[in-house]
Amino acid sequence: MSYTGAITFKRARTPHYDDPVAVGRRLHEAREAAAMSQRELAFPGCSAAYISRIERGERIPSLQVMRELARRLGVSEALLAFGRDPIDSGVASRVRDVEAAEASGDAAARTRAYQALSRAASKAARAISS
């Protein structure tokens, strides 16, 4: 008897959040800080009722939904998922400015945005090394 089937290995899954209750609390806090209702935050594929369940810790949104919630609230997905940003907040803000400048197509705005990003990154690097 010969075996000709392929061997497959399952990859370990890395969760995109730390704790369902903590994610819900952070979502609620970010929503309140943005002065948005659950209904205002909702979008196709994520109803106000689903947001309520997330905030109660009964559901964990998919990575895609978590990203969209963060975008709509003006916070990072890492902040919602883990309670901290992996990068300096000044650098994160300048990266968002660069993305907006790239989307605008304005060469002068892109130059200013990249220069500001460079300054923010240098400042963050100095803070880390001291």
3 state DSSP class of 17: coil
Q: What is the pLDDT of residues 50-96, one digit of tens each?
A: 999 999 999 989 989 999 999 999 888 888 988 887 778 788 889 88
- Confirm whether 63 is domain-assigned: yes
Give the percent of the chain with pLDDT over 90: 56
Domain enclosing residue 76, as ranges = 20-82
Of 22, 16, 107, whose CA–CA distance to 57 is shortest? 22
Q: Which residues of 47-81 are buried (b: 16+ CB within 10 A; e: fewer)?
A: eeebbeebbeeebbbeeebbbbbbebbebbbbbbb
CATH code, domain with 43: 1.10.260.40
User: Is pLDDT above 70 for 6?
Assistant: no
- Confirm whether 14 is domain-assigned: no
Which carries the bigger pLDDT value, residue 24 or residue 90? 24
- Confirm whether 13 is domain-assigned: no
Sign of CA dihedral 56, 84, 63, 39: positive
- Cα angle for residues 59, 65, 70 (degrees, 5° grid): 105
User: For the chain, how many structural domains are there in total?
Assistant: 2
**Same domain, yes or no, for 27 and 76?**
yes
